[in-house]
Amino acid sequence: GGGGSRIKSEFLANMSHELRTPMNAITNFASMVLDGVCGDISDDVRDVVGEIDDNGERLLELINDVLDLSKIEAGAMQLERAPCDPAACVENAAGAMEHGAREKGLQLRTQIEEMPSLLADERRLTQHVLINLAKNAIKFTEAGSVEIGVRRDEGDVLFWVRDTGIGIAEADQERIFETFHQVDTSMTRQTEGTGLGLAIARKFVELHRGRIWVDSEEGVGSTFSFAIPAST
Ligand code: ADP
């Protein structure tokens, strides 16, 4: 963005970095207590220290997300582009989701069309886009399946994550890609999250000169797709 937003982004990036160090110490000390480094602990203490550890981890995730976003907005995020195999991105993302899918009794599928390598930041596409989308798919699906796929679509490589979950109302389908936008903001909502995942996914897709969108029907499911130009 402009000058003001750049300074704000740089401030946020520095701030996030400063926040991470003490937060890492807190979760590391909590883990040490849980691991018995300070001797045996009662179940009550285990519960409380476990909460400290879990909440610390969530805060670290949030800090990392804010740091990533501010770096991107400051124009300071450098992609590490190299030839990568789109099929491997899908397989790695699916591998990372196996446990989560199994825990919820969801079928996890991949659909892969073999194709030439793509010049892209494989780690960012896999971690920040595909895995983010797949985590959401599992989070918002109670029964059925999650499919991760890739195919050629004219000059693009088209990736998708399809679920049979709660779906997203038409009115929310654009806004969920904005920072902190969540459909359900009630205190009683069942799912955890920061509302930053899709904003970050969109930024990384756009850094690849691609685009991302969702097709969804409430109560039926959602398909998140993103297309990366094959020539970049
Ligand atoms: P978070 O998941 O941390 O809340 P995201 O930016 O990843 O943040 O998603 C924003 C919102 O979009 C979610 O809170 C949810 O309301 C909606 N959403 C995202 N993915 C799905 C999905 N697969 N099915 C239904 N709703 C979704």
DSSP of 87-117, one letter per residue? Answer: HHHHHHHHHHHHHHHHHTT-EEEEEE-----
Is the minimum distance from the CB of 176 to ligand 1 under 6 angstroms? yes
Return the structure tokens found at 8.
């704000």
How do the residues of the chain divide into helix, strand and coil, expressed in percent and rounded to 5? 50, 20, 30
Q: Is the pLDDT of residue 118 over 80?
A: yes
Q: Is the pLDDT of residue 127 over 90?
A: yes
- The residue among 6, 4, 3, 129 whose CA lies nearest residue 70 is 6
Give the distance (Å) from ligand 1 centre to CA of residue 37: 38
Of the candidate ranges 9-23, 70-84, 86-100, 148-162, the one whose mean pLDDT is the lowest: 9-23
Tell me the per-residue pLDDT of 5-45, one tens digit each, with 9 for 90 and over: 778 777 877 887 888 889 999 999 999 999 999 999 999 99
Is the minimum distance from the CB of 164 to ligand 1 under 6 angstroms? no
Give the distance (Å) from ligand 1 centre to CA of residue 182: 6
Q: Which atom of ligand 1 is nearest to the CA of 141?
A: 24
User: What pLDDT shows up at residue 3?
Assistant: 59
Is the minimum distance from the CB of 137 to ligand 1 under 6 angstroms? yes
Q: Is the pLDDT of residue 202 over 70?
A: yes
Of 64, 127, 136, the one to substitute when testing ligand 1's pocket (max ligand atoms within 8 A of C-beta) is: 136
Binning pLDDT at 50, 70 and 90, where does residue 189 land? low
Q: Is the pLDDT of residue 232 over 80?
A: no
Is the minimum distance from the CB of 158 to ligand 1 under 6 angstroms? no
User: Residue 214 in 3-state DSSP?
Assistant: strand
